[in-house]
Structure 1
Amino acid sequence: MHGHGYPPQQPPTRRPSSGTLTGLRVLFVALTLLSCGFLSWAALLRLAAVTRRTLDWSLMAGAVVLNGCMVAFILNIPEDEPELTDQQAVVLLGWMLCSVAGTIAYYLYAEIRHYAPGGGLAPSPYAGYLPPAAPPVTSTPGYAYPPAPAR
């Protein structure tokens, strides 16, 4: 007659302190910068583990693949050449800059938005502002356009 009752409640997840969040953000941004983008996947892995969104997991997998392609590009440069050609250097530098800038920008944007108060949506600066109501429009005699002449 009586069921098992309600399942046990999960304790609410607590938000880490702001000092911990700032320290982790600095750590993962520095890891990405100091490794010239080769460890950019680490910041995206943390983000994917925290948010558990499919997009973040896909971006992390994409970063791993692109970093693997960058390593393959470096390994395919002939060793008999003493220096990189200009084209090789431009490709490698552009690849690293795009990887570093894109990873850092998205990581900081998504993590700050995830931990923002209000469930990930930043409050609008105009949240409590209502514009003054306009007076009702009435057609007062003498203030309207004259009627069109009949044809």
Structure 2
Amino acid sequence: MNAVHAGDVLAIYQAGIDEGNATFETVAPDWSAFDASKLPDHRWVALDDCDGRLLGWVAATAVSSLCVYAGVVEHSVYVHPEARGRGVGRLLLDTLIASTEAAGIWTVQSEIFPENTASLALHARAGFRVIGTRERLAQQHGVWRDVTLLERRSSVVG
């Protein structure tokens, strides 16, 4: 993922935001803020083999600047609404897992709204486990929302 993909990445992100069950964010950031927040070695896009259209993206962020957490990242994965159900999300997660394990990262985590059952199922198929529910974590449009905390521990790192 790089600046060439910026418009499509942010459009897919905004589509997820607009659906209401992807993030607490209300508007996608500009590219410079988005780019600065993601780890450069752990962000990927999926492109359509036929026309090169961007189908989805995955990106990781550090959970902490403390060195003891260097092997723990949080990630987001977004798939274009028209590309869902075609294995794009799984391909992106598998690619992220391979890149993080190659870099010595032992834990990949995410927080997902319980109502986002498709994302929870995708993550379960990719080896993530539910840690628990963070109740009333924050408000979205004036409504308190829970999130499900998931993690995937590497079987080859650590």
Aligning the two structures, in what range does the TM-score lie when normalised by the shorter sequence? under 0.3
**Larger % of strand: which?**
2
Instruction: Please say which structure displays the higher CA radius of gyration.
Output: 1
**Larger % of helix: which?**
1
With normalisation by structure 1, the TM-score equals 0.24
With normalisation by structure 2, the TM-score equals 0.23
